[in-house]
Structure 1
Amino acid sequence: MKFRYSSTICPFCSTGCSFNIAVRDGAVVASGPYHRSPVNDGKTCPKGHYAYEMISGNERIYSPLIRKNGALTECSWEEALAYATKKLAEYAGPEIGIVASGHTTNEDIYALKCLADIMGSDNFTSPAAVGIDAAAGSIADIADADCIVVVGNLALSHPLIARRVANAKDRGAKVTVVDTYLSPTARLADEFIQATPGSECKAVKEAAKFIEGENAYVLFGISAGDAEASIAAAALNVAEDKGVAFFAFPAQSNGRGALDIGAFTPIERVLADKTIKAWYIMGEEMGAVEADFVVVQDAFMTVTAQYADVVLPAAVFAETEGTATNAERRVQRLHQATEPAEGTKPHWRIVADVASGLGTDLEYETSEEVFTDIAANVKGYDGLTYAALEKDGFLIAPRKASVSAGPEPASVKTSDEFPIVLSMTPTIWHGFGSAGTYSKNCPTLVQESPGIWIGINPDDAKEKGLQNGTKVTVSSNIGELTAAVKVMNSVAVRTAIIPAMRMKDICACAVTGGRKTCAVRIEEVA
């Protein structure tokens, strides 16, 4: 029996935790701590601990697919690539939208940027491109802070960041949390400021009065509310007015890398562009995408893949060599633990094959060759090599925080028909977007949290005769879904929370329409 460990980076959030993947006789069997990491000190959250299970996820794709007579049909790589490149060549550059998941590697994203240039498209974007770019110092430094303001629910979205906040509090730091409900992060706080939809910026400004001391941080997480850029701008203004550090944490594991590599065109602007007729989507769950032609390369049969004209099967993180850049801009190595599943290829390799079919040879034979180009062409990565990253990675120096202007948060208008204010929340078991795709392909995570639920206040539950586990219909003026009730003292009266994820083809967006908040009606299923 041959047994070895291979170190890698967690594919879920942007903390960038390292862990070891245990390989026995060539097969991945478990994961274990990587104690040397300066980011997470050998600790992982449940998502990272069970991430290796996605290698054999039940939704994995093992063969290219082409839509024939309305149905996706297995075909050879040669046929799929020939068809994809033939069709893509029919569109002008501005007619093509290109989306890079922030859960893929720097090498994958850089190769896709090269492909966007080959196709002549400036519509190169990522879900990370929401107008927020800020990293102050290192994650480890947070534990030594005198004072911390947290905007959002870091304990569930970025658990190992919340651990640093807890470490700081244990050492005497004052912690203030702004969130939409009494979340696990809020329960860490000395001061909790509850933000209702539309009041998030005001709540963030209120937190300023609790900032004291010279070594203070304003930490911006996710799921703080709609109009994320405006809320982040309010948090940045507080930090600048007080002369303290501002740190924003992308939702996706390599969201920071995606911005560095060049996927910074605002995603909302690209999605709203009605002149786009074809899409090339790498590793991202975007729901149903309807266009003249859609190419998806992914490891899993997402909803987006189900709507594609061509599906190209990709390797998962444990089958890939590469790098990722975490929230603090630490560039770290992913080491390949096992060969890509039969029929699949690394994302960067697929992109190179597509480029070749379009007449341009990217001349990449290994991921290291892609990284050499990154080091030669991307600011901050100058001169980096795989060898230089082997120990603790490389921490790129912070630059001035940047937050783009965006629409102000809007209040949620309730009515007799829709009397409850619903807000999305992260969960400890699942991630956002394509990270939700990852977690639902990890059986242990699914076992712990098998489906969508709706958290409501005990008084609202009593009024409606609902108990834990009761099946209810959650309806808005957009749509409806069915979920199980969780009765929670942490949720205020006439409000509710729901996980920001997709499980078993049920997604909160069915009622929110893509927003993080909306007004709903909750009724027991007859």
Structure 2
Amino acid sequence: MSFRYVSTLCPFCSTGCSFNLVVQNGAVVAGGPYHRSPVNDGKTCPKGHYAYEMTAGKERIFTPLIRKNDSLTECSWEEALACITTKCKEYAGTEIALIASAHATNEDIYSLKRLAEILITDNFSSPAAVGIDASAGSIAAIADADCIVVIGNLALTHPLAARRVANAKDKGAKVAVVDTYLSPTTKLASEFIQATPGNEREAIRKAADFIVGENAYVLFGISAGDAEASIAAAALEIAEEKGAKFFAFPAQSNGRGALDIGASTPIDAVIADEKIKACYIMGTEMGPVPAEFVVVQDAFLSVSAQNADVVLPAAVFAETEGTATNAERRVQRIHQAQEPPEGVKPHWKIVVDIASALGEPLGYETPEDIFADITANIKGYEGLTYASLEKDGHLISPRKAAVTVGPEPVKVKTNKKFPLVLSMVPTIWHGFGTAGTLSKNCPTLVQEVPDIWVGISAEDAQKYNVTNGRNAVVISDTGELTVTVKVMDGIAPGTTIIPAMRMGNICACEVTGRRKNCAVRIEEVD
């Protein structure tokens, strides 16, 4: 019996935690600590601890699928590639969009960028492209801060980064938290500033009065607001005004790398562009995509895949080699722990095969070949090699924060029909948004939070006649969802919360649409 440890990176959030995968007879069977990491010191959150389980995820895809007679049918790789190349030639570059997962490796994303160049399109994006790009040195250094302002629920979205905030507080640092409810992050706070959807910028301005000291940080997690870039701009403004370091944490494990490589066309603009007729999606959940022709390459049969015209089976993080760049801009190695199942290919290899089928070979034989191209063409990555990254990775020097100011936050308008404000929130078991595609293929994480729920104050539960632990229907102007009620402390009357994830066949987006906040009513059902 063979037994070994393989170090790798967590595929969930952008903290960039390392851990070991336990490999027995060539198969990943468990996860274990990797104490040498400069980011997480051998610690992991629940998502990282159980990430290995997705290698056997129940929704994994092992064979290419092609739509025939309005249903997906198994086909050969040759048939799938022939269909893709034929259809791609029918569209102009301006009619094609390519969307990269920001949970994929730098090599995966760069290969897709090269495919975008072959197709002559600038519509190259990722879910990380929300107009926010800022890092300020190492995550570990946050533990030495004397004052920290946290915007968002960092304890649930980026738990090991929040641990550094706790370390700083233990040393005497003052901590202020801006959030929409008394979230777990507020337990770290010396001061809690409650924001409501639409007034996030005003709440952040109040936090400016709190910033003192020579080593202050403003940490921007995943905003509960829809106008995320504008909210981040307010956070950057108070940081610059007070001489504090500004740190933004992407939702995705390689969000920073995706932006560095160039998957930065605003994702909202790509989604809303009516000129897009063909869409190629690499490993990310976009829901049903309203394009004429949709290709999805993914490890799992996501909703995007279920509605696609061609689906290509891709490897999970434990089955590929490469690199990823975390929130602090540390480039680190991902090591392959097991071979992909028969018929499954790493994302980069799928893209290479498509380029060759189009008559435009990329010339890549290994992920290391792609990384050599990255280091030759991407600023900050010059001179790096796989060998140079093996110990602690490489921390790229901080550069000036870039935040693109978008639409202003809009206050949610309630009325008699929809009297409550609903906000999407993360959970420590499933993260935020598209990470749920990964977590719902980890049985232990699903066991902890198997269903979507709605959180409500005791006052509103009584007012609207709903009961803790009972089912209720949450209704908005775009849809409705039946979920379990949780009566929770710390939720202000007039507001409710719901996990930002998909579980089973239901998703919070069925009520919120593409919004993070909306007006709803709640009615108990039998």
- Indicate whether the TM-score tops 0.5: yes
Q: Which residue of 2 aligns with 1:87?
A: 87
Deviates more, 1:224-233 or 1:440-449: 224-233
Give the 3-state SS of the residue equivalent to 2:98 in structure 1: strand
CA distance in 2, matches of 1:65, 1:319: 21
Alpha-carbon offset, residue 432 of structure 1: 2.8
| Pair 1:506-2:509 in alignment | no
Q: Which residue of 1 aligns with 2:348?
A: 348
Give the 3-state SS of the residue equivalent to 2:184 in structure 1: coil
Post-superposition CA distance 1:122-174 (Å, at most 9, x none): 00001100000000010000000000000000000000011000010000000
CA distance in 2, matches of 1:253, 1:133: 14
Superposition pairs of residues 190-205 of structure 1, within 5 angstroms: 190-205=190-205
| Pair 1:432-2:429 in alignment | no
CA distance in 2, matches of 1:155, 1:261: 28
CA distance in 2, matches of 1:68, 1:198: 46
Give the 3-state SS of the residue equivalent to 1:362 in structure 2: coil
CA distance in 2, matches of 1:293, 1:461: 45
Count of aligned residue pairs for this structure pair: 526
Q: Which residue of 2 aligns with 1:35?
A: 35
Post-superposition CA distance 1:429-467 (Å, at most 9, x none): 002333110000000000000010000001222334433
Deviates more, 1:456-465 or 1:70-79: 456-465
Alpha-carbon offset, residue 187 of structure 1: 1.9
Alpha-carbon offset, residue 427 of structure 1: 0.4
Alpha-carbon offset, residue 374 of structure 1: 0.5
Post-superposition CA distance 1:207-228 (Å, at most 9, x none): 0000110000000000331200
Percent identity between matched residues is: 74
Q: Which residue of 2 aligns with 1:231?
A: 231
| Pair 1:359-2:359 in alignment | yes
| Pair 1:283-2:313 in alignment | no
Q: Given residue 318 of structure 1, which amino acid in structure 2 is its aligned partner?
A: A
| Pair 1:158-2:158 in alignment | yes
Give the 3-state SS of the residue equivalent to 1:263 in structure 2: coil
Give the 3-state SS of the residue equivalent to 1:482 in structure 2: strand
CA distance in 2, matches of 1:269, 1:366: 33
| Pair 1:184-2:184 in alignment | yes
Alpha-carbon offset, residue 468 of structure 1: 2.6
Give the 3-state SS of the residue equivalent to 1:185 in structure 2: helix
CA distance in 1, matches of 2:169, 2:481: 40
CA distance in 2, matches of 1:464, 1:123: 46
Alpha-carbon offset, residue 383 of structure 1: 1.2
Q: Given residue 207 of structure 1, which amino acid in structure 2 is its aligned partner?
A: A
Superposition pairs of residues 490-505 of structure 1, within 5 angstroms: 490-505=490-505
Alpha-carbon offset, residue 512 of structure 1: 1.1
Q: Which residue of 2 aligns with 1:221?
A: 221
CA distance in 1, matches of 2:438, 2:273: 29
Q: Which residue of 2 aligns with 1:255?
A: 255
Q: Which residue of 2 aligns with 1:70?
A: 70
Give TM-score scaled by structure 2 length.
0.99
CA distance in 2, matches of 1:282, 1:144: 39
Q: Given residue 17 of structure 1, which amino acid in structure 2 is its aligned partner?
A: C
CA distance in 2, matches of 1:292, 1:500: 28
Post-superposition CA distance 1:210-248 (Å, at most 9, x none): 011000000000033120000000000000000110000
Deviates more, 1:131-140 or 1:287-296: 287-296
CA distance in 2, matches of 1:269, 1:295: 19
Runs of 4+ in 1 over 2 A off after TM superposition: 431-434, 462-468
Give the 3-state SS of the residue equivalent to 1:210 in structure 2: coil
CA distance in 2, matches of 1:14, 1:185: 17
CA distance in 2, matches of 1:58, 1:230: 39
Q: Is the 8 A contact 1:180 1:225 kept in 2?
A: no
Q: Given residue 523 of structure 2, which amino acid in structure 1 is its aligned partner?
A: E
Give the 3-state SS of the residue equivalent to 1:232 in structure 2: helix
Q: Is the 8 A contact 1:223 1:425 kept in 2?
A: no
Q: Is the 8 A contact 1:284 1:433 kept in 2?
A: no
Give the 3-state SS of the residue equivalent to 1:99 in structure 2: strand
What's the Cα RMSD here?
Answer: 0.8
Superposition pairs of residues 37-186 of structure 1, within 5 angstroms: 37-186=37-186
Alpha-carbon offset, residue 342 of structure 1: 1.6
Alpha-carbon offset, residue 188 of structure 1: 1.2
Q: Is the 8 A contact 2:467 2:524 kept in 1?
A: no
Give the 3-state SS of the residue equivalent to 1:435 in structure 2: helix
Give the 3-state SS of the residue equivalent to 2:258 in structure 1: helix
Give the 3-state SS of the residue equivalent to 2:209 in structure 1: helix
| Pair 1:479-2:479 in alignment | yes
Q: Given residue 491 of structure 1, which amino acid in structure 2 is its aligned partner?
A: I
- Gapped regions of structure 2 (runs ≥ 5): none
Q: Given residue 492 of structure 1, which amino acid in structure 2 is its aligned partner?
A: A
CA distance in 1, matches of 2:171, 2:58: 45
Give the 3-state SS of the residue equivalent to 1:141 in structure 2: helix
Superposition pairs of residues 4-19 of structure 1, within 5 angstroms: 4-19=4-19
CA distance in 1, matches of 2:524, 2:517: 21
Deviates more, 1:462-471 or 1:72-81: 462-471
Q: Given residue 427 of structure 2, which amino acid in structure 1 is its aligned partner?
A: T
| Pair 1:324-2:324 in alignment | yes
Q: Which residue of 2 aligns with 1:385?
A: 385
